[in-house]
Structure 1
Amino acid sequence: MDSAAIDRFEASRSRLASLSYRLLGSAADAEDAVQDAFLRWQAADRERIELPEAWLTKVVTHLCLDRLRSARARHERAAGAWLPEPLFEGDPMLGPAETFEQRESVSLAVLTLMERLSPVERAVYVLREAFSYPHAEIAGILDITESASQQHVHRARIRITAEHRRGDDVDPGSARRIVEEFLAAAISGRTERLVALLTDDATAVSDGYGLARRLLRYDTRERVASYVRAGFKPTPAKRRLAGGSPAFHIALVNGSPALLAVTDGRVVGAVAFAFSDGKVASLLGIATADRLSRLNEAWRQHQPDAPVFNAW
């Protein structure tokens, strides 16, 4: 393959990776899908391809659909123990963030809800909401009719908006203050203060440190506060699980403020926050090791801020 063909693919790599990540929720799987697309591009009769970008988009979308439909993926997702892989703000895999819809489509909350869509619904939703493809082009990419594309995105929007309350845009300073107060209350054991920092309809979802068979869900602020208090209470067993006594840092992850638990330079857990009316509306806790791989790669390459708490 000549350098011009390689350059053409590389010019699309970032967009293809962003599309794959939104479809699969995993950076590692997204990279594999893009590499498979490169192999298809390498083997293709490129002189017959009139629109390389459209061709590559179709190929990588179908590769992702194949993964979503695979027996292993169906089993993992049906087990309910799956959460999306968090990424630091600025990671190129997060892709376009010019519009509210683009930012929402890559939030951890929406990526989690997209698990409830069928593979085709998920693909239509991502292509439409995140990349603004017209329905005629989506139909061509997915080999469906234009009306079917419209119906799929309509159903997807209904299913996501029914369960996802859009949080408020909170300025970084205020968000940091709320997260610091929340962490202080959680570690001190002041459950009543935790309850006061939560909205009346606060929710929390956790993968249970990767040990639970199903996702752990909490749907009242009292239950959320109890879960948080128990989760942040230091014990010898938790220190063993974390590989030591973690320090806690605040960072932006998938567009949301997050607490990162770090032990010996390794991120061992992430808790993402969403806010409403100056309070915490939802929490998403991820500690499964393979869901933190890319976060750890990035962590090793940048100079982190001082921890907000380091005596757990």
Structure 2
Amino acid sequence: MVSLREREAELANETQTLQTAADLFDASVSEAANLGQSSASVLVALQGRVDAAPLATAEASRLNLLQVAAAAQPVSIPTYQRASIDEKDLVDVGKAIDGVRLARESLPPLVTDVRDARSTVTAALTSFRGELSNLGSAIESEAAKAVTINDSASQSFRAAVTDAAARVKAAQQAGGDGLAEMPVYAASLDALRTENARILALEQAERDAAPTTPRNPGSGSNTGGGTNSGGGSNTGGGNQGGSPDTGTNPDPAPSQPAPDPDPEPVPDPTESEEPPIIIDPEPAPSGTVPGATS
């Protein structure tokens, strides 16, 4: 015949089973609440630094995790205390054994309820961790694109992004959630983008400060044959609209010196510059024809 003490020992074992289930449930609820709260700032920091779709899915899963944790009800463990009986009185002992039996029979349903409640919490935890794993893969993809796009930055900045993304995935493959490594990735990506923008700005400033090289004379569109009317069309192919050249045309070539004039002719020194003297012939005697012979 089973004694009262044996029934009480069995009840104690069943009660301990319920207590263990309740402890596991409470631990899962605490883990869910802590993970949901601690991951909020990490996901916010990833905005603009990873593809929006997996990030939004992870955020929705995080909110669901918090809701499940908040809805969890505390487990009440029934206590047993033997009433004062006369152990030599069989009737009293029989009633005590029946009371222990009823208490024991009430425990299995409680254990089942607690385990079901814990399953709901652990399912939410598993779902969120799965979304974090997908987010880790998205971080790797984003890191590869960022390194390609921001190629003006030095290799050290690009390597930092690649390494940080790899550490996120390695932590997740080792069983972690990668949340501790994600802020490092976000910071390294910001540093890469900042450095790349700085280099591009310096290069642009150097281009803006570089002097303009003048074109060779005659190489432009103005052939030199037209006139600039100052407000109308240029009929010779030159600048239109009469707007002044802002410095892109070269200085005009120097004009060629005019040739020396031909020297004046020098007169012959043998020739007299005085007019010739004309001597009239003497008059012939009257009656005589000049040039006639007798």
* TM-based fold match above 0.5: no
TM-score interval for Structure 1 and Structure 2 normalised by the shorter chain = under 0.3
TM-score (norm 1): 0.22
Q: Which has the higher strand share?
A: 1
Larger CA Rg, structure 1 vs 2: 2
